[in-house]
Amino acid sequence: MRLRDFVIVATLLATTPAFAQETDLPDDYLTPAFHAGRRDSLRQLMPANSVAIVWAYPTRNFSNDVDYVYHQNPDLYYFTGYKEPHSLFLLFKEPQTAADGSTYKELLFVQKRNAQAEQWTGKRLGVEGAKQKLGLTHVYNGEDFKNTAIDFSKFEKIILDRLPTDIANSLYDNADLYDLIQQLKEKAQITDNYAQDKRFSTALFRQYTGQLREIKTAEELVLLRKAVEISCQGQAEVMKAVRPDMSEREAQGLHEFVHKKYGAEHVGYPSIVGAGNNGCVLHYQENEKLHVENRMVLMDVGAEYHGYTADVTRTVPANGKFTPEQKAIYELVYEAQEAAFKLCKEGTTWQELDKVSRGVIADGLLKLGIISKKEEANKYYPHGLGHHIGLDVHDRNASTKLKKGMVITIEPGIYIPENSPCDKKWWTIAVRIEDDLLIREKDYELLSWAAPRKISEIEKLVAEKSPLDNFTLPKLQSAKKGF
Ligand code: GLY
Ligand code: MN
Ligand code: MN
């Protein structure tokens, strides 16, 4: 049935019983105390007489009346734990006084409960659920925002992200994100050139959320460690299962099956599984090659567990044996990664890390005769060394130096596409090795330890048996032509 039918049916059904979902759920979600702590920390950073405003990500259309699986704005999730669309959160530096004399310091506007809608798209927390589950005290339905009296003119700073400009306005909902943003613009007198108005600051929003989110708390690390370990188990299972006749998509499916088996909700970014030349496309997403053949397979796949995403890449020979050329390139990338690892501790800058890894790769490519001048190395190593991970795969950050509690990737790579100006024996070799590290005061913890990275370990694992070796499906009958 289509969602469009719902509009018709919903008008016919006067009373549908509230839809109850099963309650066999994980018990390791972030706690209300965690989110409250994050809100307090944001408040401490904010200047006197200011308000911070965060809204949900819009829903996105996938096909006709079907939407993509919804993903919350990580900032809203971080500060509240609320995972539904069409919501708005305001956090005040100083307590505010309502018309009835009571005070509040935060307001959350949520999707209203709606039995018919919930039968189609699942349970909503609603006002009472959000109070109970998230521990917030001042929660209202989105439709109440319109009549909530907030005098925005008295604030010296209104701290907010860049306003979304491409949200659909649903005909069936008078308190969807579009309406909430329109009402916010009217109430706070946000004009089209708000970026030039000093009362509004998107820079402070990015700075504060960066400062907070770049340092992981103990609670966040539990989830991030798990997301990374799950991803590594996915890598290890695919290493065992990979064979030259496997397709890129099958390998992707096995990664994602392992993620799901361990309870991960999503992938943190579209899975990248590229054999041979396809590995040279840095964010290759088609994963369409039917047989990986005797190629190197570059697999950059990260599980998202309760919002936190890993980012792990392994590159393996599908037939279980590195050729001398593949080995030479792999060892160079490995060496560049090891050199960067050694510097991973408090105080190191990304420039220092980048310089050392780029130096190793440039020297190595020169020695192998793939380039004739060091400056040419970037042609084969065309991306940065790494980034923060967390609620976003390319996570928010604010500092230039590494600090204890940051979680970063270190991911050098060498990509030699077909027809490159070097001996053709190197063509189609693409290697990226990407690991996730927790920065400590004097060193780091390798979070992605569970995915083998040494050549000998990889060759050993590919030679192992896999449960998929004996997994067959019936031959499809649908190849018959015509009527
Ligand atoms: N998976 C995307 C990246 O490595 O940055
Ligand atoms: Mn990455
Ligand atoms: Mn990656």
- Using the atom order of ligand 1, give the atom closest to the CA of residue 283: 2
Ligand 1 pocket test, candidate residues 281, 311, 392, 407, most atoms within 8 A of CB = 311
Contact 20, 63 (CB under 8 A): no
Whole-number Å distance, alpha carbon 311 to ligand 1 midpoint, is 6
Q: pLDDT digits over 82-133, tens only?
A: 999 999 999 999 999 988 889 999 999 999 999 999 999 999 999 999 999 9
For residue 19, the model assigns a pLDDT of 61
411 Cβ inside 6 Å of ligand 1: yes
**Binding site membership of 300 for ligand 1 (Cβ less than 6 Å):** yes
The protein residue with its alpha carbon nearest to ligand 1, atom 4, reads 311
pLDDT tens digits, 209-223:
999 999 999 999 999
Q: Supply 379's token pair.
A: 């042609």
Q: Tell me the CA distances in angstroms from 461 to 248, 408, 458, one per residue in order.
A: 19, 26, 5
pLDDT, position 13: 47
pLDDT at 8: 44
Does the beta carbon of 269 sit less than 6 angstroms from any atom of ligand 1?
yes
Measured from the CB, is residue 392 less than 6 Å from ligand 1? no
Residue 1 has a pLDDT of 52
Ligand number, closest to the Cα atom of 284: 1
Q: Give the span between the Cα atoms of 201 and 190, in whole angstroms.
A: 11
Distance (Å, whole) CA 208 – CA 157: 13
DSSP state of 163: P
Which residues, including other chains, have CB under 8 Å from residue 461's CB and lie 6 or more apart?
236, 239, 240, 452
Percent of the chain with pLDDT over 90: 91
Given a cut of 50, the residues of the chain with pLDDT beneath it are 5-15
Instruction: Give the pLDDT of residue 12.
Output: 45
**CB–CB of 300/431 below 8 Å?**
no
Q: Please give the distance, rounded to the nearest whole angstrom, from the Cα atom of residue 410 to the centre of ligand 1.
A: 10
Compute the mean pLDDT over every residue in the chain, rounded to the nearest whole number.
Answer: 95
Of the candidates 150, 181, 141, the residue with the CA atom closest to the CA atom of residue 56: 181
Domains and CATH numbers, the chain: 3-212 (3.40.350.10), 216-470 (3.90.230.10)
- Tokens of residue 220, six digits: 């966040």
Quick one: angle between helices 32-45 and 126-134, nearest 10? 90
